[in-house]
Amino acid sequence: MRYLIFGSAVIAIFTLAAREVAAQPRACVRADIGEGFVLPDGSAHPAGQLRICLERDYSPVAGLHTIAADGHANGRFLSRRVKPEVGNAEAPQLAFVRDAAGVLVLRGYTLARNGEVEAYWLERPRDRRAAPAGTQVAQAPAAATDTVWLVAKATR
């Protein structure tokens, strides 16, 4: 009898968790970047398409994202979610900073969700592994200069 109650409780918990995950549709932004750029993991990429997807909310103040440069997946990244200073943005925006050499380094992006604009500041992965073959690794800027905002397109 105890196992039946325990099993029922486990099934109920997984059912509720599955509903919560299903209730959070994946939201993506996409933009064509006109010059080379660096991702938060330090990998350098030539000019091309950048796609960032919010896979799910990780916590009330963080998100889990996947990033693809020119259609090649570059991994999962955690973010810190903040309220942006701008009000309603008509389109999502990507935020870059220029390092000391003038290279664009991805900092984060904005996304409209549930009628509000949220900003996600991407974090450098804690478990840093070697960059994928064929990529150059650059250092993220120690002291960022001005933020460069690029308009993106929302996708799914």
Q: What pLDDT shows up at residue 37? A: 94
Q: What pLDDT shows up at residue 88? A: 59
- Cβ burial of 19 (10 Å; 0-12, 13-18, 19+) is exposed
Q: What pLDDT shows up at residue 38? A: 93
Q: What pLDDT shows up at residue 154? A: 65
Q: What pLDDT shows up at residue 74? A: 84
Per-residue tens of pLDDT for the chain, all 156 residues: 555 555 454 454 544 444 444 445 678 999 999 999 999 988 999 999 999 999 998 888 999 999 999 888 888 899 999 887 665 566 788 999 988 888 999 999 988 877 788 889 998 766 545 444 444 434 444 444 576 666 666 666
Q: What pLDDT shows up at residue 49? A: 94
Measured CA to CA, the distance from residue 35 to residue 44 in angstroms comes to 11
For residue 53, what are its two tokens?
């997807």
Contact in structure between 123 and 117 (CB atoms under 8 Å): no
Q: What pLDDT shows up at residue 21? A: 42
Q: Which residues contact 132 (CB under 8 A, 6 or more apart)?
A: 43, 72, 74
User: H-helix or E-strand containing 4?
Assistant: helix 2-22
Judged by phi (left if over 0) then psi (alpha if -120 to 50, else beta), residue 90 lies in alpha
* Amino acid in position 64: L
Query: Which of these, 36, 53, 52, lies nearest to 105 by C-alpha position?
Result: 36
